[in-house]
Structure 1
């Protein structure tokens, strides 16, 4: 005849680490009922009760409420079903906490004032659909009356999408981007750029230099940007020297300071700082190191030309 091992509340407390008072509460709630009572009226529990209590402790540590645990213990719900539901809920909580952490880090880095903190929090709380709508409204409001399909396609292809666990830099970039796309002056700048692209108007220097030299220039500058070369650094100097000599040869001119100044002025006609800032912010928000075919080569080129000339 099998002998059933029975445990007092004190023994359950020692085995589980729960207080006697807590075990008594679970017992009174019917979650872990006593198996029997001693001759003196004390509650006694068998091995099944001990295992139920240990499972209860584990599920509580995972954040499950007592009512759900009761259903699991009574086999109304499987542990797998409950675990899956709680895992999904925890994913949402983790994403919320990660965004809050990113906002706090951005605030600490930027020394934001109360109004900016509110703005950061509000913008990062937007759903993915709401963020998408914000950019869609910007695109439609900016390009709606402009026959510039390539420009619109370029903007749409690079729609900024804040990740679930953004860095502080991405949060700050998203806030600045949201403010930028709502600025009417900026929209006008983007519209002018689109009109020039839609009309197929090229810069004079682009026309006169020829497609071969311009394509070579775009590849060289794009490679420099992708390699993380600062246009103001010494690493940029040999790239610029090579390009200046190639352009000077094409234009039958001496590659001197005067020619560099002329090159800079020519390329600056296509350089709008706020438009370039838009693309920089988009890359940061999307976590892109470089965006193929969307690299604004002229800002890097003009900065490097001026740096080289001023050195």
Structure 2
């Protein structure tokens, strides 16, 4: 898919809608996780045809993402996995962000003894190896730096303040689950 780097506001909205339509094709809008499609489409209705420098740069980067078929396939994979519903995560994301994020910042290796102590603050120390492996797979399915970047860029286009990246914390968490399974 070729995405122009300087489309009008109307065209930008259409490009986003087309991307989301492809990623969520055939998924029942009432399925678990399908509401994510609404958020992925969100652009301000009064966006100018000539965006400011920061928004123009964000659009150019977003256009490159949307033109990357591996990115589209990855979002589709996440959409399909989310639509099946499955079980809710067996962990609270806030401790992942707090503890695993702290481990990333401190340079603690996921497989180290300190990594194990940090992991035990996030999930019960007695969690069986099979459950840790299942949980790691679930975290890996829904963790992708490019998808997080999509949300960051959409935030710029929507005039929202940036937020700290959570992806490194979830990557560390998945690695720690696998290392201590």
Separation (CA, whole Å) in 1 of partners of 2:58 and 2:128 = 44
**In structure 2, how many angstroms separate the alpha carbons of the residues matched to 1:140 and 1:268?**
24
1:146–1:183 Cα change, 3 Å: farther
Is residue 131 from structure 1 mapped to residue 6 from structure 2 by the alignment? no
Paired residue secondary structure (1:123) = coil
**How far is 1:223 from its partner?**
6.5
Q: Deviations over 1:109-150 (max 9, x none)?
A: xxxxxxxxxx9xx634x3322211111111122223222545
Structure 2 Cα separation of the partners of residues 236 and 153 of structure 1: 36
Distance 1:302 1:178, change over 3 A: same
Q: Within 2, Cα distance between the matches of 1:249 and 1:231?
A: 17
Count of matched residue pairs: 162
Match of 1:175 in 2: 60
RMSD: 4.3
Aligned partner of 1:289 in structure 2 is 162
Question: Aligned residue for 1:166?
Answer: 52
Q: Determine the C-alpha separation between the residues in 1 that align with 2:154 and 2:69.
A: 18
- In the alignment, what sits opposite 2:37? 155
Equivalent in the alignment of 1:184: 69
Question: Distance between the aligned counterparts of 1:174 and 1:299, measured in 2?
Answer: 24
Question: Are the counterparts in 1 of residues 24 and 80 from structure 2 also a CA contact under 8 Å?
Answer: no
Q: TM-score, normalization: structure 2?
A: 0.61
The aligned counterpart of 1:249 is 125
Higher relative contact order (CA 8 A, sep 6+): 2
> Which runs of structure 2 are paired with 1:195-214 in the superposition (5 Å)?
195-202=80-87, 206=89, 210=90, 214=91
1:275 to 112, 137, 147: 147
Per the alignment, in what secondary structure is the counterpart of residue 125 of structure 2?
Answer: helix
Give the direction of change, closer, same or farther, for the CA distance of 1:236–1:131 in structure 2 (3 Å limit): farther
What's the offset of the Cα at 1:269?
4.0
Measured at CA, do residues 134 and 232 of structure 1 come closer, stay the same or move farther in structure 2, by a change above 3 Å? same
In 2, distance between residues paired with 1:232 and 1:143? 33
Structure with the higher helix share, 1 or 2: 1
Uncovered stretches (5+) of structure 2, i.e. residues with no partner: none
State the Cα distance separating 1:196 from its structure 2 match.
1.0
Matched, 1:301 2:174: no
